[in-house]
Amino acid sequence: MEVIILERLQKVMAYAGIASRRKSEDIIKAGRVSVNGKIIKELGFKVDPKGDLIKVDGKVISREKLVYIALNKPESYVTTVNDQFNRKTVLDLINGVTERIYPVGRLDYDTSGLLLLTNDGRLTYIMTHPSHMIDKKYRVTVNGYPVQKDFAILEDGVELKDGITAKAKVFLIDRLAGKTIFDITIHEGRNRQVRRMCDAISYPVYSLERLSFGPIYLDELKSGKFRYLRKEELARLEKLKAGFSN
């Protein structure tokens, strides 16, 4: 049996292209929105986007078609829809997409690599909720030459200010010119986690790139470019969603 994921009414309205979330709140407070025939003025009201009948000014709203995009995020872009400091955002790299998409999780300002963008709220919840433990693989370049005992610490768990990290997987790639390159796979999503883990073993990160997120891989996508997910990738995501349906 599929779990029904409820979402705030103003969020569903925004996804349907009615207005921004803030403007949608004004529309709700004005009594212009009904859910299953009942006028709703409560801003925290939650609805089933797939099952509830939602009308604005008497007209049924239809959710935008679901869109799934992979972006190779460059450094110096923020993973947000809008930035109060007028920095470049990942949406500045997306063109020709009329649907109201948003990033699935975050990548740090100075981290590059795979970022997913979608308007599928259920998928976003599944991919980002800590209890689901979705793997994320990163290509890490650090200054210096960590040895096996250092990698063992990363794999077994590093003591950080917000607690010890979960177990990770580390695979050595290369050593050259005063630097070491390795892949690390984690399933947590703490703020700047990989960088803090490497700082904790005294090998600061020189560069960091995400290679995969769950069943989706960066592959040969060039920096700053995006693409729609392929049919086989969408099938993997559907399988992932089905796995969390109970």
How would DSSP label each residue in the chain?
-PPP--EEHHHHHHHTTSS-HHHHHHHHHTT-EEETTEE---TT-EE-TTTS-EEETTEE--PPPP-EEEEEEPTT-BSSS--TT---BGGGG--S--S--EESS---TT-EEEEEEES-HHHHHHHH-GGG---EEEEEEEES---HHHHHHHHH--EETTEEPPP-EEEEEEEETTEEEEEEEE----TTHHHHHHHHTT--EEEEEEEEETTEE-TTPPTT-EEEPPHHHHHHHHHHHHHT--
Encode pLDDT of 157-194 as tens digits.
999 999 999 999 999 999 999 999 999 999 998 999 99
Catalytic residue among 108, 110, 156, 199, which? Answer: 108
CATH number given to 68-130+216-243:
3.30.70.580
| Domain range annotation of the chain | 7-60, 68-130+216-243, 135-213
Percentage above 70 pLDDT, the chain: 97
Within this chain, domains 7-60 and 135-213 share the same CATH topology: no
pLDDT for the residue 2: 46
pTM over 0.75: yes
Encode pLDDT of 28-75 as tens digits.
999 999 998 999 999 989 998 777 889 999 988 876 688 999 999 999
pLDDT band (50, 70, 90) for residue 138: very high
CATH number given to 7-60:
3.10.290.10
Residue 26 falls in the annotated catalytic set: no
Kindly indicate whether the domain formed by 135-213 is annotated with CATH number 3.40.190.10: no
